[in-house]
Amino acid sequence: MGEPVVVTGMGAVTPLGIGIDALWSGVVNGRSAVGPITRFDASGLGTRIAAEIKGFDAEACFGRKEARRMEPFVQYAVHAARQAVADAGLQDGALPRSHTGVIIGTGIGGVGILIEQSRILETQGPRRVSPLLIPMMLPDMAAGQVAIDLGIEGPNMAVISACASGANAIGEAAAMIRRGAAEVMIAGGTEAAILPIAIAGFNVMGALSTNNDAGPGANRPFDARRDGFVMGEGAGIVVLESLSHARARGAHIYGEVAGYGASADASHITAPREDGAGAIAAMQRALLEAGLSPEDIDYVNAHGTGTLLNDAIETTAIKKVFGDAAGRLPVSSTKPVTGHLLGAAGAVEAVICLLAMREGAIPPTINYAERDPACDLDYVPNQARPARLRTTMSNSFGFGGHNACLVFRAVTGEAG
């Protein structure tokens, strides 16, 4: 399988703030970032709440000219990548440029500029369309701009698998290191889709919570009152290295990407398979690659969107994979705090899993009050729980039947 691949740096731009410390503080304290949409007039929409990023100054980060050449999903990714590289101690020319690669996932990419420029085409004609339209809207531009910003010349690509994108990106990046395609990989996910068209589209599908008056209490994974997810935005980026490369330079290690599993439901364009077979396969493959049994997992960060089908089917899948151990297994969803970051969710939740291992605490599922008989696991309701975590699992499932699962393991002798 190749030598172990470890995480040595992490960065995040989320509705909870800038950086991994702000992310962890919000998650462990159950401080939801969900509130009224302020970016546009949402009064005509069924859903009028979201978890928006506030206080992010793109011009301060990149300068006015460069900021205007990046869609927000790219801005978030580049800034989070800078954080991750600095956290890993690889800034100031320390990155092995030709042996470092980038894989960054997104579910939607630059839809904002596409809508804006479509209006210009209709009202002002084709000659007024921006020459930056195509490069700014392309989903691969987050990976491309990170490489440009950091001078990285190795493999560079995007993963687009809806809400599994960020997890797939990390898993595939780890596989690249194992097969010798790179020494270092920068990987994760990014999304910026809090837009009228996206809210309207998810609304007509019935995927979003319309519990607008509840604000931070709207998203209720695994609760009998759940009525959909609440959209968030942001980016999560990690630096991956082979264990030998990390130890040779004395890097701090958060943990090992011990296992990765991916599968397809091959069933429906939006709904998960009722028997959970795709989710089950992804979890089992991740455990197999990690060389772990179900009893070895200390915590699962669930996909846990708060939709009626997802939560019940994920519960079923976890019970089938973990068997008798499922009843003792802490499972929580952090989406009520961060919002659902779509293509960035799996990456941000991977960061959360690694921070949970470092901090010795299991994040809670907030807004949980009423038990659903179809959801009968230990969801760590409302309050974080101290725990010694040596292994964690993160689930990510996306429209189109995409399933991804990551397993992280503490590295012996490291302060992870």
Radius of gyration over alpha carbons of the chain, in Å? 20
Q: Which among 234, 378, 359 has a CA at the least distance from the CA of 304?
A: 378
What is the model's pLDDT at position 160? 97
Of 79, 340, 353, 405, catalytic: 340
Class of the domain covering 5-248: alpha beta
Q: What is the pLDDT of residues 193-234, one digit of tens each?
A: 999 999 999 999 999 999 999 999 999 999 999 999 999 999
- What dotted CATH number matches 260-409? 3.40.47.10
Instruction: Give residues with Cβ within 8 angstroms of 312, minimum separation 6.
Output: 372, 374, 375
What is the model's pLDDT at position 92? 83
Question: Tokens representing 14?
Answer: 């989320």
> How many other C-beta atoms can be found within 10 angstroms of the C-beta atom of residue 155?
18
Say whether 340 is catalytic. Answer: yes
Of 79, 303, 353, 375, catalytic: 303
Q: Where in the chain is the domain with CATH 3.40.47.10?
A: 5-248, 260-409
Going from the first residue of the chain to its last (416 residues), give the mean pLDDT of each consecutive group of 10, the final group possibly shorter.
92 98 98 97 97 96 95 98 98 90 97 95 97 96 98 97 98 97 97 97 97 97 98 98 96 98 96 96 98 98 97 98 96 98 98 98 98 98 98 97 98 66
Amino acid, res. 200: A
- What would the DSSP string read from start to end of 68-126? TTS-HHHHHHHHHHHHHHHHTT-TTTTS-GGGEEEEEE-SS-SHHHHHHHHHHHHHH-G
Q: What is the pLDDT of residues 365-405, one digit of tens each?
A: 999 999 999 999 999 999 999 999 999 999 999 999 999 99
Q: Which among 240, 256, 243 has a CA at the least distance from the CA of 154?
A: 240
Model confidence, pTM = 0.97
Say whether 245 is catalytic. Answer: no
Say whether 405 is catalytic. Answer: no
Distance CA 160, CA 401 (A): 12
> How many other C-beta atoms can be found within 10 angstroms of the C-beta atom of residue 18?
21
What is the model's pLDDT at position 415? 46
